[in-house]
Chains A and B, each alone.
Chain A
Amino acid sequence: MKPALLQVRDLCTHFETRTGTIKAVDGVSFTLERGEILGLVGESGSGKSVTGFSLIGLLDPPGRISGGSITFQGQELVGLPQADMRKLRGKRIAMIFQDPAATLNPVLTIGQQMMMAVQAHGGMGQGAALALAERSLTRVGIPDAATRLKAYPHEFSGGMRQRVAIAIALLHGPELIIADEPTTALDVSIQAQILAEMKTLSQESGTALIWISHDLAIVSSLADRVIVLYLGRVMEFGLVADVLRAPLHPYTRGLLDSLPAMADPGQKLRQIPGSTPSPLHVPPGCPFAPRCGHADDRCRSDPPPVGDHLHGAFCHYPLAGST
């Protein structure tokens, strides 16, 4: 049997700060198969973006991977020299960021930036590189690609800029794309276009996708599997349908109940009490225990075990699982 495309085991990414160690990612494990779409869901501070940055080796100091392993097609990425990581990044693993206005260089044309991305991985002449850039732009639905290559980022709308960022990510036909909230800054009508296109692209090219989002609804309509994160730990994982229809973890249940779409108009929403604690003072035991209605002493002291392997929750008292 071929190994999984990506295997993450017990990943820990910590930030040493003057006030203490922030365990932004603390023991996250998952596998990803070719062509699969995985949703990483969580609120701010859950470690979803840091997980993405850890995978592609773009952590800024003082952040560093302090434990665990990331195996990409059998190759260990933790501890890989920067030079080797650079050969992978942008070629076999690509990333799309939240704010397309910040990811594109405002003083270079789209064509120049795409050429740089092509030639960074060598072996292609000017003409062939331009043709590749043009094909890539056409693929993401940018009309009149040849002319648009000569345009600067400010000449594009927000949605079009994000398409350019996606086109750059697709240039080398990567096996894995990590998308960090790529539609958060966009209007709903443009978001729907991008989501529909990403889904088609992933299906057509067999590219695996890690979709990082705070929005359960987006993940539910796009992803095959989902991981729910809270304070750097996995709370629940499983097929999207299983997790949404029958959440096992009280946190997942609480997140779903918080959505206005889940309540009758004008009625009170079932809210999660309290707020996310500081990452400097993660509660011992289950990190969600202080906000959880089912928690007892065991939850406050012992880290919870994991349940079933296809769909599981890190919880001492998983819910019966019905909606």
Chain B
Amino acid sequence: MNDILTAENVSRRFSPHVTLGDRIAGLFGAKLDRRPVMAVTDVTLSVQRGATLGLVGESGCGKSTLGRMLAGILEPSEGMTRLNGAAPMQAGRKTTTRIQTVFQDPFASLNPRRRVGDTITEGPITHGLITRSAADSFAAVWLTKVGLDPAYVSRFPHQFSGGQRQRIAIARALAMQPEVLICDEPVASLDVSIQAQILNLFLDLRREFGLTTIFISHDLSVVRHVSDRVAVMYLGRIVEIADANSLYSMPQHPYTQALLDSIPKLSIDGNIGVTFQPIRGELPSPLSPPSGCAFHPRCARATELCRGERPRLKANGMNGLVACHFG
């Protein structure tokens, strides 16, 4: 098997934290909402060594929660994730350094009081990859690799722009020599011109280190650009997973189709001022997901069957899986 990272029937439930104040309020008759939220439900997937899987979906679809479970920093409520066949997490603690993560906001993910050199070398020193005496030259090498001046090792994060900070976050993750890199919206907070620079850097480094990556984003065009396979999530479940090319050219699930139709397109060759084909309605609350297929209240093709029975993910005959009664 060439699958390096797998998830088997993973689910993640978040129960509301009931404080003492809530309980007292409850005694006086206040309504307490103790319904748990299913952020991710029954997701099974595998990623081949060296491949990039894109995870797309709108807010609240569970893509970040799934990413955190794959990264081994959040424990699944049910099911398990595996890296090379072994659990990346035991008893609530991450047990591997072979998976690293790059987060969305480089302003929040870097410690403002540490010099960036220390930020990059902390992990490798702790895990014995380098010695303390080699730290400075190690940090300088990594800054160079991500396109920054090696003289910046003793600077603080506030002395860098957003794009430069994201480069530092990438250097910190890769300095641990991971096999798998999980990127959670790594370019969402960057300007277009800087986004292009970071995506190019990402493509270069992925090739150089033979990384397996999970790329989480709400931006479908960014995901298409970097991914081999793409999984579309809706209300905690994968509704479609397929090769990037076929998913974008022949989307099978009505939600995938609608999502692709919703993106404003840069219509250089004619069709300027195209009208949108918006999806009707709103995202339902994950507290009370619709019966049957979760997308049925917004789907133009929904029937009685869709309202009553949840479609299972099944092969669509094109090397992909789709969860639709009509897919």
Contacts and interface: CB of A to CB of B under 8 A. Distances in A.
Nearest to A244: B268
Contacts of B226: 265-266
From B218, B227, B266, residue with most partner A Cβ within 10 Å: B266
B267 interface: yes
Contacts of B194: 43, 275
Interface stretch (B3-11, B101-109, B196-204, B309-317): B196-204
Interface string B254-265: 000011011111
A87 to B, nearest CB: 34
Contact of B244 (A188, A262, A265): A265
Nearest to B192: A258
B134 interface: no
Interface string A161-201: 00000000000000000000000000111111101100100
Contacts of B200: 268-269, 271
Given A265-B225, A266-B225, A268-B203, A191 B262 contact: yes
A248 interface: no
Interface stretch (B40-48, B120-128, B274-282): B274-282
A270 interface: yes
Contact of A275 (B58, B161, B267, B283): B161
A117 interface: no
A109 interface: no
Given A157-B282, A187-B283, A189-B279, A244 B272 contact: yes
B272 A241 contact: yes
Contacts of A241: 272
Contact of B196 (A187, A215, A269): A269
A188 B224 contact: no
A311 interface: no
Given A192-B278, A217-B266, A221-B264, A276 B191 contact: yes
B203 A221 contact: no
A216 B225 CA distance: 18
Contacts of B273: 221-222, 224, 240
A193 B193 contact: no
Interface in B186-237: 191-197, 199-200, 203-204, 218, 220-222, 224-227
Nearest to A215: B264
B203 A259 contact: no
A218 B221 CA distance: 14
A189 B225 contact: no
A262 B269 CA distance: 12
A193 B196 contact: no
Interface size class, chain A: 35 or more
Nearest to A46: B191
A137 to B, nearest CB: 16
Contact of B222 (A187, A224, A244, A260): A260
B221 A260 contact: yes
A144 B16 CA distance: 31
Interface in A226-278: 240-241, 244-245, 254-263, 265-266, 268-272, 275-276
Contacts of A240: 272-273
Contacts, number: 139
A271 B279 contact: no
Interface string B108-138: 0000000000000000000000000000000
A279 B237 CA distance: 45
Contacts of A196: 275-276, 278
A11 B278 CA distance: 37
A310 to B, nearest CB: 16
A258 B263 CA distance: 17
B58 A188 contact: yes
B198 to A, nearest CB: 9
Contacts of B263: 188, 192, 217
B283 to A, nearest CB: 7
Contacts of B191: 43-44, 214, 276
Given A265-B224, A268-B200, A221 B274 contact: yes
Given A240-B273, A258-B196, A275-B161, A189 B224 contact: no
A260 to B, nearest CB: 4
Contacts of A100: none
Give 10 nearest A-B pairs by CB, closest first.
A258-B196, A260-B225, A192-B262, A43-B191, A187-B58, A192-B278, A193-B278, A271-B196, A272-B193, A269-B196
27 contacts: A43-B191, A43-B194, A160-B282, A187-B218, A189-B58, A190-B282, A191-B264, A192-B262, A217-B265, A220-B266, A221-B265, A221-B267, A221-B274, A240-B273, A244-B266, A254-B193, A258-B193, A259-B221, A262-B266, A265-B224, A265-B226, A265-B227, A268-B204, A271-B193, A272-B197, A275-B161, A275-B193
Interface of B: 58-59, 161, 163-164, 191-197, 199-200, 203-204, 218, 220-222, 224-227, 244-245, 258-259, 261-269, 272-279, 282-283
Given A189-B278, A195-B276, A217-B264, 13 more contacts: A43-B193, A188-B259, A218-B264, A220-B264, A244-B272, A256-B266, A257-B196, A259-B266, A260-B221, A263-B225, A265-B225, A265-B226, A276-B191
